A and B are shown apart, each in its own frame.
Chain A
Amino acid sequence: MNTQPDPPIENPVRPFYWSVRRELWENRSVYIAPLVVAAVVLFATAINTTRLPRRIRTAEPAKRHAVIVTPFSLAPAPIMMATLLVGFFYCLDALYGERRDRSILFWKSLPVSDRTTVLSKASIPMVVLPLIALGLSVVTQFLLLQLGSLILMGNGMSPGTLWGEFGFFQGLPIMVYGLTIHALWFAPIYGWLLLVSAWARRAPVLWALFPPLAIAAVEKIVFNTTLFMNMLGYRMTGAMREGFVLRGKHVDVERFSQLDPARFLSAPGLWVGLIFAALCLAAAVRLRRNREPI
């Protein structure tokens, strides 16, 4: 009997999509940690909201707006901080862990290029985590506003007071803008952490922190200046300073007029940072190609 061999199958493949899903399977903290923080924020703010009617009644007219708005507008901050921290730790382990547990040999046996892998890992802090922060923040704020409305009604007050003072729907695009500029502004940090993660043979945390601190220390001792430290500080806070028009020491943003995309896009720090991030990622791709399990 002469059987023809089956024609080779050719599945449609989506390596990038599946690589991102793979990251979420492995690193469930990416969504669990922000979820826990959101639950805590929800719980704490909910308790705080029970005193809202009394605070509104006793507030001076000048402070009335702040009294009403502050608990709700602050709610997303811890959630976003959580995603930021998760992103840092995720990056440090992303290309280190797979070498340590030797699973890199399995991943490399499959037709997913090093570039796809590194980019999929970079997309977690750059895209996935900001989306998680946005989703959780919106849901948390929405639930809190519902609760606030119920409590106000229960005390014979109009929920309109709350919705009038707090611009929920206005806040949404502001959050999208804020998360976007932070993702772009922090790109060199993520790039650096991924690079260290691809390079270090042990203790990636130390390798990530040590060189910048060493540079700062040497600069201070030799020149008695703090340019490098200032630069690092600017990297941490620059997105707020370049992307928004802040009023004095207040960091809360409520109005569209406070968004300043033109200044943000023309800040050299943004572009220098993006170029640095691209170089780090390119180096990480090369390293992953060459590095062996540890």
Chain B
Amino acid sequence: MACIEARGLRKTFGPTVAVDGLDLRVEEGRILGIVGPNGAGKTTALNSILGLTPYQGELRVLGRDPWTERDQLVRDVAFIADVAVLPRWIRVSQAIDYLAGVHPRFDRAKAEGFLAKTSVKRTSKVRELSKGMVTQLHLALIMGIDAKLLVLDEPTLGLDILVRKQFYDSLLNDYFDRSRTIVVTTHQVEEIQDVLTDMMFINRGRIVFDRSMEEFETRYSEVMVSPEQVAAARALRPIHERQVFGRSILLFDGVDRQQLAALGDVRRPSIADLFVAVMSQGEGAAI
């Protein structure tokens, strides 16, 4: 059974189409990164998956309809919609007590164990904690929940790089196992590149790119070409070209690396470069 399965998922706000016919299948045990410009429909798509908003089209999450079966679904799903949503008045100990009191799958010892490794004090209120500590607290609470699906919407927005790194490290090392599924959206693409198993670009409510990381690594290459070789390189039909210090960097999809090596230095492109390439090509042209 797929963890998330969507067919023709669509959501409009008045005349604005936020999600425009999304087809999506996320298998159990995957870590999917969703990347897209602001207003691309990422959050709306996630809100549909979480049962926070009604939608059109077909959508099953863990075999349930998220809108009509939200109350049952939310026992198996954890989510962080940016970390700034923890109520500022709550004490760390109260947050733990509350979760233990309302969540059937919450393991207090796990959350407290994770928290013990941080400098977050149990008697502190959220308003007294630094942004980084609030992140650690929220992560600790999530760690305690034995969820099948974890949804993260811009979880590290506004945090410094150290905290962001820690966040994903903890997520991978202490939380993720093959029976869980994680869906994450972020603007800081490069940072999660090594974490993901799958990647998806969304633009204007549509999926414009959808690959596993293995595919990404084997199919795409980037070559830095000197001016005299540009014509030869262009003949191999790059999907994107940009100029850096007077040399051209060309991005290729599915071109043999040995063939490219003759033209210049071949390397793996970053997700950010690929993202720019795909976005500048316009809707869906890269696929």
Q: Do these two chains really belong together in a complex?
A: yes
Q: Which residues of B contact A14 (CB under 8 A)?
A: 101-102
Chain A, interface size: which category? 20 to 34
B85 adjacent to A106 (CB under 8 Å) = yes
Contacts of A112 in B (CB 8 A): 102
Which 5 residue pairs across A and B have the least CB separation, nearest first?
A: A18-B101, A103-B87, A105-B85, A105-B81, A106-B85
For residue B78, CB closer than 8 A to chain A, the reply is yes
Establish whether residues A26 and B89, one from each chain, have CB atoms under 8 Å apart when the complex forms. Answer: yes
Contact A109 to B107, CB < 8 A, known contacts A5-B179, A18-B102, A103-B85 = no
The residue in chain B whose Cβ has the minimal distance to the Cβ of A8 is: B146
Q: Say what secondary structure dominates the interface of chain A.
A: loop
Q: List 28 A-B contacts (CB under 8 A).
A: A5-B179, A9-B105, A11-B100, A11-B103, A14-B102, A17-B101, A18-B97, A18-B98, A19-B102, A21-B101, A22-B94, A22-B98, A25-B89, A25-B94, A26-B89, A101-B88, A103-B86, A106-B81, A106-B85, A108-B50, A109-B74, A109-B77, A111-B75, A111-B102, A111-B103, A113-B71, A290-B54, A292-B53
Given known A5-B179, A111-B74, contact A106–B89 (CB-CB < 8 A)? no
- Complex Cα gap A15–B86 (Å): 18
Chain B residues with CB under 8 A of A102: 84-85
**Interface residues in B, total, Cβ within 8 A:** 34
CA–CA, A25 to B94, complex, Å?
A: 8
- Complex: chain A residue closest to B91, CB-CB: A25
**A214 touches B (CB below 8 Å):** no
| Known contacts A25-B94, A101-B88; A8/B105 CB under 8 A | yes
Residues of A within 8 A of B (CB): 5, 8-15, 17-19, 21-22, 25-26, 98, 101-106, 108-113, 290, 292
CB contact under 8 A between A110 and B102, given known A8-B146, A25-B90:
yes
Interface bits B67-81 vs A (CB < 8 Å: 1, else 0):
000010011011111
Whether B87 contacts A26 by the Cβ 8 Å rule is yes
The CA-CA distance from A22 to B97 in the complex, in Å, is 10
- Nearest-CB distance from A86 to chain B (Å)? 17
With A25-B94, A103-B85, A103-B86 in contact, is A108–B102 under 8 Å at CB? no
Q: Which of B97-153 contact A (CB under 8 A)?
A: 97-107, 146
CA distance A124 to B84 in the complex (A): 27
Other A-B pairs beyond A14-B101, A102-B85, A103-B85, 9, CB < 8 Å:
A11-B106, A15-B101, A21-B98, A22-B98, A106-B81, A109-B81, A111-B74, A113-B71, A290-B54
